């Protein structure tokens, strides 16, 4: 019987934690806080990489090697910046 009471208390506490966490995430989004993993390239590097591929004639593999990222990162960046179709 005591274990049932403890289980109920634990479930209630977990629900409270979930609500507080969701509220905190919403406040952070409202303030414009970036959620998730940091980007591999800064905005200036992204613009330069896009220019190198689209205007300067470098291959995606060459640009990826120069910036030290995987080719898929460059392709994702090009799609996101609308330089190629997905």
pLDDT tens digits for range 49-78:
999 998 888 999 999 999 999 999 999 999
CA atoms within 13 A on the CB side of 55: 6
Of the pLDDT bands very low, low, confident and very high (cuts 50, 70, 90), residue 1 is: confident
Token digits of residue 76: 């994702």
pLDDT value for 4: 94
Residue whose C-alpha is closest to residue 67's, from 51, 83, 85 = 51
- Report d(CA 37, CA 26) in Å as an integer: 17
- Beta strand spans in 1-86 (E): none
Whether the pLDDT of residue 11 is over 60: the answer is yes
Render pLDDT for 12-32 as a digit per residue (tens, 0 to 9): 999 999 999 999 999 999 999
pLDDT at residue 81 in the model: 84
């Amino acid at each position: 019987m005591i274990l049932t009471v403890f289980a109920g208390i634990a479930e209630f506490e977990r629900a409270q934690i979930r609500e507080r966490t969701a509220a905190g995430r919403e406040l952070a989004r409202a303030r414009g806080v970036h959620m998730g993993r940091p980007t591999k390239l800064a905005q200036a590097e992204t613009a330069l990489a896009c220019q190198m591929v689209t205007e300067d004639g470098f291959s995606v593999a060459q640009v990826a090697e120069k910036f030290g990222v995987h080719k898929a990162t460059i392709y994702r960046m090009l799609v996101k910046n609308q330089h190629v179709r997905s």
